[in-house]
Amino acid sequence: MVSNKTIQTGDLKKLNEWRSYQSTLSLILYAAVKRLFPKRKLRIEHSMSRGFYCKLGTKIDPAMVKKIERRMRKLIDENLPIQQASFPREKAAYLFNNLGQPDKVKLLTNIRKKHVTLYSLLDVYDMYIIPPFDTTARVPLFYLRHFSPGFVMIFPTWQDLSKLPEFVPQPRLNRIFNEYVEWARILEIDDVGPLNAVIKNGGGPQIIKIVEALHEKKIAQIADRIVKERSKVVLVAGPSSAGKTTFTKRLAIQLIVNGTRPLVISTDNYFQPHSKTPRDEYGKLDFETIEAVDTALMNTHLLQIINGRTITVPKFNFVTGRRIKGHVVKGKDFDVVLLEGIHCLNDQLTHRIRRDIKFKIYISALTQLNIDDHNRISTTDTRLIRRLVRDTHFRGYRTREVLKLWGRVIRGEEGNIYPYQEEADEMFNSALVYEPGVLKRFCVPLLKRIAKRSSEFAEAKRLIDFLNLFYDLSGRDVPSNSILREFIGGSSFVY
């Protein structure tokens, strides 16, 4: 029998091989676009439907997308070599300037690395945190789908590189990404290079203030809508380290401003006792599945609160694995319940509550910042870095443990959260464009402690290389109610 530890170590290897698959396809995509549409600017923006959403400047049509796909397949079938070479930073910037890639020039001008590794395919050069494979033939599976005004490049999932997932349009998720991309343009910070330039010139504190104000404005707008629609149960769901707890507390404050009396409840307090908790395929207690929650008791309590009755909300003791008595709640004292947890978008969780009085919110750190035009910053990496800082500083975990468990966390999210995200009435992006510069100070020292012989070393090095792209930014200007405070400490909220 394969041990859980072996599976977790294998997850890290699978994830990095998958990232190399992405880097290789991205380079092939760029080479194809360069051949077919040399005057168009390729921008790989964000994840969508198990792939990357891409744009070519202005709007493109399905015929153009098919043409790009055919050229990509030709490059793959030709089994072309992908070369790599180390360049002095100034020489690399000169090369990209001549190639008409100002985004990379801006990045190289505003990082501290003395040498960078470049990857080339035919006459195309690019940079990647995770190296591409050595030949184009190693990424045979992919397809493109038109999604106006751009297209989506679909590739295999990290669990199995031999299968392609189905394309499922995600218009709501795309809309929220576009909203925050527009905010980045307002700030004139859509890549790491411009962000570093602002920090280098002393503008970091101002960026923090503006970004936090944008968050507060969005939360206030969501609160206004909840009040207008007279919702009775607000359901807040999102993946690990999205900032659900702080968001919910800030939303409660905005509801109070609107004259509404909110009650905040966590689904964690309705966990089944360990004796009834399902186990995963490795025999471990599975808190990611909805069957781990006592939905019957939760629905009974929600209905009683809505009807103005008094109940005792339980509190789950994670040490003993049992529920204990929590605090007494008088339903007549509250106008709306804010329920926070990973399953909240799944109607099975609140099956006895009418849909017309429920309001669903999906929250995640949907990173709107790119490294450059062809290198997006993974939303998953943003959450992993947050989790590394929080769990090692405040929850007693070791860095290696957090990295080992990450694959298991992602599996739970893919099965229990992502399938329901398009059902949300509102989406909130908890990512903060400035946060990597702040988190770097906390995270890099942790990652540097991982020994070279460790199975987690490659993942630690990858994250260090990524964080070292950013200039350091002091956290002293981060407000006490910021979502980031949930991870670095110093929050004015009690967790």
Which stretch of 169-173, 379-383, 403-407 has the lowest confidence by average pLDDT? 169-173
- 5-9, 25-29, 314-318, range with greatest mean pLDDT: 25-29
pLDDT tens for 208-218 read 999 999 999 99
Q: Report pLDDT for 9.
A: 58
Q: What is the mean pLDDT of residues 113-141?
A: 95
Cα–Cα separations (whole angstroms), residue 72 to 62, 79, 99, 156: 15, 11, 21, 16
CATH number for region 1-168: 3.30.980.10
The residue-averaged pLDDT of 12-29 equals 95
DSSP for 310-333? EEEEEEEETTTTEEEEEEEEEGGG
Nearest CA to 48 among 173, 229, 205, 176? 173
Q: Which fold has domain 212-361?
A: Rossmann fold (3.40.50)
- Strands 233-237 and 336-340 turn out to be parallel
Q: Is the pLDDT at 247 greater than 80, yes or no? A: yes
Where, residue-wise, is CATH 3.40.50.300 in the chain? 212-361
Phi-psi region of 12 (alpha: psi -120 to 50; beta: other; left: phi over 0): alpha
Mean of per-residue pLDDT scores for the chain: 92
Does pLDDT of 5 surpass 60? Answer: no
pLDDT category, 301, cuts 50, 70, 90? Answer: very high
When mean pLDDT is compared across 174-183, 289-298, 414-423, the lowest value belongs to 174-183
Task: Please say whether the beta carbons of 427 and 173 come within 8 A.
Answer: yes
pLDDT band for position 275 (cuts 50, 70, 90): confident
Report pLDDT for 281. Answer: 75
Residue 175 has pLDDT above 90, yes or no: no
Q: Where in the chain is the domain with CATH 3.30.980.10?
A: 1-168
Identify the three-state secondary structure at position 427. Answer: strand
- The pLDDT, as a whole number, for residue 8 is 58
Give the pLDDT band of residue 431 (cuts 50, 70, 90).
Answer: very high
pLDDT of residue 3 exceeding 60, the answer is: no
pLDDT for 7 beyond 60: no
Measured CA to CA, the distance from residue 210 to residue 186 in angstroms comes to 10
What is the C-alpha end-to-end distance of the chain, expressed in Å? 39
Task: Look at the chain and count its residues.
Answer: 495
Question: What pLDDT sits at residue 233?
Answer: 98
User: In the chain, pLDDT over 90 holds for what percent of residues?
Assistant: 77
Q: Using pLDDT thresholds of 50, 70 and 90, give the confidence band for residue 169.
A: confident
